[in-house]
């Protein structure tokens, strides 16, 4: 159990459902994006053009739209007010590209309108990054101390305390993933409202864009599910270490 954080103990089985859901979500989003990447938008507008139209029509004039490398690397950077679109989205006029670009524009609208969940997520970023760097080193050092020196009561308590501190730090990452869900769902709702209200897409094209965004949303659900299962595993290892001390 000493090295069970990484291999060789039954708590690994706790993560199995998370791996399966994550794989399913990734396959679903890839297949859905690939399917609708082959369906061109009838007006011929690119993802970048649609994102720009959404921003302009909602009175947002201070957000830059940039092309970035990578596959599905699209994101909105609130710090620089930059909407970053991947090559596959920026210059493509496919239903998938337009849906993804509209979603990222939805994040820019959230920022402009002061959407509370996005503001909270922005505040949490540095704290969560700091916690993520500390979580596993604290937990692993604490586990080593607890198991290797369990015969020394005071030292063992220090080890368990470090493990608990690591779990608390990791919990910040899970909380961040939880807050991310409403942010992503809300951005998709804003995107679909803008697309349906602008007349940019037909009803059939709107259904395709909705499927693309729905599939993408499942990746965030899967990420949260995996984080919760990993947190459960850490708690089980802590319980085992605590039981060994008794």
d(CA 130, CA 172): 10
pTM of the model as a whole: 0.87
84-113: b (≥16 Cβ within 10 Å) or e:
bbbebbbebbbbbbbbbbbbbbbbbbbbbe
- How confident is the model at residue 219, as a pLDDT? 95
- The model's confidence at residue 151, banded by pLDDT at 50, 70 and 90, is low
pLDDT at 71 over 80: yes
pLDDT at 8 over 70: no
Quickly count: other Cβ atoms within 10 Å of residue 10's Cβ: 10
- The model's confidence at residue 2, banded by pLDDT at 50, 70 and 90, is very low
- How confident is the model at residue 146, as a pLDDT? 78
pLDDT at 5 over 60: no
In this predicted model, what pLDDT tens digit does every residue of 208-224 receive, in sequence order?
Answer: 999 999 999 999 999 99
d(CA 88, CA 97): 7
- The model's confidence at residue 4, banded by pLDDT at 50, 70 and 90, is very low
- How confident is the model at residue 12, as a pLDDT? 86
**Mean of the per-residue pLDDT values for the chain?**
90
- The model's confidence at residue 1, banded by pLDDT at 50, 70 and 90, is very low
In this predicted model, what pLDDT tens digit does every residue of 87-125 receive, in sequence order?
Answer: 989 999 999 999 999 999 999 999 999 999 999 999 999
Q: Residue 62: CB partners within 8 Å, gap ≥ 6?
A: 81
Instruction: Given the residues 66, 104, 184, 205, select the one marked as catalytic.
Output: 104
**Is residue 184 annotated as part of the catalytic site, yes or no?**
no
In this predicted model, what pLDDT tens digit does every residue of 20-69 receive, in sequence order?
Answer: 999 999 999 999 999 999 999 887 889 999 999 999 999 999 999 999 99
């Amino acid at each position: 159990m000493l090295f069970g954080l990484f291999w060789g103990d039954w708590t690994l089985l706790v993560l199995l459902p998370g791996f399966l859901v994550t794989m399913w979500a990734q396959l679903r989003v890839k297949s859905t994006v690939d399917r609708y990447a082959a369906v061109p938008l009838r007006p011929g507008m690119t993802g970048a053009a649609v994102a720009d139209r959404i921003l302009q029509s909602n009175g947002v004039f201070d957000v830059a739209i940039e092309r970035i490398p990578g596959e599905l690397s699209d994101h909105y950077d609130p710090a620089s007010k930059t909407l970053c679109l991947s090559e596959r989205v920026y210059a493509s006029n496919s239903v998938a590209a337009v849906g993804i670009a509209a979603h990222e524009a939805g994040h820019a609208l959230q920022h402009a309108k002061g959407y509370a969940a996005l503001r909270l997520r922005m505040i949490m970023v540095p704290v969560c990054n700091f916690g993520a760097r500390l979580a596993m080193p604290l937990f692993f050092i604490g586990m080593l101390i607890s198991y290797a020196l369990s015969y020394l009561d005071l030292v063992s308590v220090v080890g368990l305390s470090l493990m608990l501190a690591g779990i608390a730090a990791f919990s910040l990452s899970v909380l961040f993933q939880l807050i991310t869900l409403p942010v992503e769902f809300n951005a998709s709702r804003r995107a679909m409202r803008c697309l349906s209200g602008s007349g940019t897409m037909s009803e059939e094209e709107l259904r395709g864009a909705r499927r693309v965004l729905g599939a993408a949303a499942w990746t965030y659900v899967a990420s949260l599910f995996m984080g919760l299962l990993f947190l459960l595993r850490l708690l089980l290892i802590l319980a085992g270490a605590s039981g060994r001390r008794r």
